[in-house]
A and B are shown apart, each in its own frame.
Chain A
Amino acid sequence: MANAYLSGLAAIAPELVLTGTALAALVFDLVTKGRDSRRVGYLALGGLALTSLLLIGQWGEPPRTVLGMVTVDQFGNFFKLFTCASLAAVVVFVLNDRRERRHGIGEYYFLLLGAAVGVFFMVSTNNLLLLMLGLELLSLASYSLAGFHKGDRKSAEAAMKYVVFGGLSAGIMLYGISLLYGLTGTIDLAEMASADGSGHPAGLAGQLAQNPIPVAVAVVLILAGFAYKVSLVPFHFWTPDVYEGAPTPVTTFLAVGSKAAGFGALLRFVGALFVREDVQDTVRAYGERVGLLIAILAAVTMTVGNLSALRQRSLKRMLAFSSIAHAGYVMIGVAAMSAGGFEAAMYYLAAYYFMNLGAFGFLLYFEGVTSSDDIDGLKGLGWRAPLVSIAMVVFLVSLTGLPPTVGFYGKYLLFQEGVAANLIWLVVIAGLNSVISLFYYFRVVRTLFLSKPAEREVAPQPLFVGLLAALGVATVFFALYTAPLVDWARRSMDLLWASSG
């Protein structure tokens, strides 16, 4: 027993290291009385690097469940490494943010790393209690981060809207979980879906036959909670305001790290409940109907996101709506309810990491230069800061979904899986949406290069510009050489194996 406990602790070593780093950042800032704000950032980067190394050390290990509820598998590792990578980029953003106040930087990193610990647990469990706790740890840290600029009215408003919508959706999700628990008698997703309906309580298969309406209500309520986290229409109202009001590095974390985490938990939820190998046939058939509901949400989400983005004058707000639209694209893979669909969704999330992180990095750079996020302020910046602007063009081409970029290959995979799952109408809508998105993405390109250059000094930021250039190169490189990311997504499908506990 003691041995099992110790080996369980060894399996969650990455989580422990990350928690330790979060506390260390807080204490370090306290001890140095805030004089050494850059060092705290380097400390956070070091902790993230160590965590990533430990995660890579778990490469290829068979899936297992430790401490009764934490599932350690390659699927979880994908999202954990993703979180580490996005958080490391966010830390570099914070270090290069000219508008970031230096006071209380320890709390800033503490909250960011704490949010990451929440992500780690929510993507690696079939247990609804741990899923909920991880989700709330992420949410509570995000609320505080959104309002981190305490004297800024927009930041305060963002935090308030976030906490209200977040609290509501967490409550709705929790209520759904309580119903599902009452129906199936367990809080473990895998047990729910694999019970054959003869025992007592009857498992999901039995309840689908006896109580179809309460099951539907429970599933819809829980999906609503996820839909909020990944900002699907009609649960997206908070997104533009929160993204606009929050400090830009926090916005980046919300748009990339937090959104991917929401998808990780959502894939785990639908995967364990409806798609896994040992799921009962009636439950699997029900899952396909849930997939249709998700497909409708996806179609509405991408259309509303793209049409709203057309009207925006602020680059930050435009990117917020663009991230809503991209959540819609990823949902095609979820709606397919198959291993192939999940792989495509995960590849697209990896592509989204490069292109969206790059776009938000450009936004931060541009805010540092002009002190505003108005697209008109971009005029002629392409001639002043060519390297960063060319990288931005690459990100925008990729976000539109044109070759030769990861965004194109990701959409290709998603559309292929959508067709394979008989969702051709959804693929057509997604294709039309990509055309709409061309208009607002290329308005930015046009403003960058086709306008008269404004007289403006651009101070050099070598580390930051280097990061943006690297992201730009990666955006093209992983499209020409797709094997690593595709293989990685395929290896992560161990969440669907019957033996993964």
Chain B
Amino acid sequence: MGVGAYVAVSAALFALGVVCIIARRNILYVLMGIEMILNAANINFVAFNRFGGDGLDGRMFAIFTIILAAAEAAVALAIVLNVFHLFDSIKPSDVDLMRE
């Protein structure tokens, strides 16, 4: 199996992530969509490292991306929890005070 198959999977995952975010039904779906995009990039990094580049740049990048995703999820969930306390809802359409 060549690198093309991996890129196809990651592109599909990326597209699904974007759709998930644009649909904006629920803030948790949005956060999941972001995780999907980050993992799509991870698949690319690991696959390109395996088939192309010398060294470990891609794999290193993937490991750091996993850490980034975890940190971002922690901050995002704390913010969402606070929003839930104040608005009693986690639908983006309900959390919209500032619009003119």
**The one of B41, B45, B98, B100 that contacts A245, using a Cβ cutoff of 8 Å:** B98
What CA separation (Å) do A407 and B58 show in the bound complex? 43
Residues of A within 8 A of B42 (CB): 178
Please measure, in the bound complex, the distance between the C-alpha atom of A184 and the C-alpha atom of B86, giving whole angstroms.
Answer: 48
A-B contact pairs, 5 of them (CB 8 A): A167-B31, A170-B34, A175-B41, A178-B44, A187-B57
B23 located at the interface, meaning its Cβ lies under 8 Å from any Cβ of chain A in the complex: no
Q: B53 contacts A168, CB within 8 Å?
A: no
In the assembled complex, the Cα of A142 lies from the Cα of B6 at a distance in Å of 34
Question: B residues near A, CB below 8 A?
Answer: 3, 7, 10, 14, 17-18, 21, 27, 30-31, 33-34, 37-38, 40-42, 44-45, 47-48, 52-54, 57-58, 60-61, 64-65, 68, 71-72, 75-76, 78-80, 82-83, 86-87, 92, 95-100
Distance in Å: Cβ of A279 to nearest Cβ of chain B: 21
With beta carbons under 8 angstroms apart, the residue of A158, A171, A201, A240 that contacts B53 is: A201
Complex CA distance for A73 and B18, rounded to whole angstroms: 38
Give Cα distance in the complex from A462 to B96, angstroms: 38
Once A136-B71, A168-B21 are accepted as A-B contacts, the answer to whether A147 and B82 lie under 8 Å apart by CB is yes
Contact B86 A151 (CB under 8 A): yes
Residues of B within 8 A of A456 (CB): none
Given contact pairs A129-B61, A245-B98, A171 touches B82 in the complex (Cβ within 8 A):
no
**Which size bracket describes the interface of A in this complex?**
35 or more
B contact residues around A312 at 8 Å (CB):
100
Given contacts A143-B76, A182-B44, contact A154 B37 (CB under 8 A): no
**Residue on B nearest A150 in the bound complex, by CB:** B82
Interface of B is mostly: helix
Please tell me if the beta carbons of B68 and A136 are within 8 angstroms of each other in the complex: yes
Residues in B with CB closer than 8 Å to A143 are 75-76, 79
Q: What are the 5 tightest A-B residue pairs by CB atom distance, in nearest-first order?
A: A171-B37, A182-B48, A178-B44, A167-B34, A185-B53
A174 within 8 A of B: yes
Main DSSP-derived SS at the A contact region: helix
**Chain B: CB-nearest residue to A141:** B75
> B95 near A175 (CB under 8 angstroms)?
no
Tell me whether B71 and A140 are in contact (CB under 8 A). Answer: yes
With A143-B75, A159-B79, A187-B61 already in contact, the answer to whether A168 and B37 are too (CB < 8 A) is yes
Contact B48 A181 (CB under 8 A): yes
CB distance from A161 to the nearest CB of B (A): 8
Asked whether any CB of chain B lies closer than 8 Å to the CB of A327, the reply is no
Q: Are B61 and A156 in contact (CB under 8 A)?
A: no
CB contacts (< 8 Å) of A70 on chain B: these are none
* A367 at interface, CB cutoff 8 A: no
**Residue among A132, A153, A167, A175 making CB contact with B97, cutoff 8 Å:** A153
CA distance A422 to B73 in the complex (A): 45
Partner of A140, one of B47, B48, B75: B75
Assembled-state Cα–Cα distance A124/B64 (Å): 19
The docked-state distance in angstroms from the alpha carbon of A231 to that of B37 is: 21
With A140-B71, A168-B34 as contacts: A157 and B83 at CB distance below 8 Å: yes
Cross-chain contact B52 with A201 (CB below 8 angstroms): yes
- Beta-carbon contact of A240 and B98 below 8 Å: yes
Residue numbers in B under 8 Å from A177 (CB-CB): 41, 61
Interface pair A178/B41, CB less than 8 Å apart: yes
Across the interface, name the chain A residue whose C-beta is closest to B43: A178
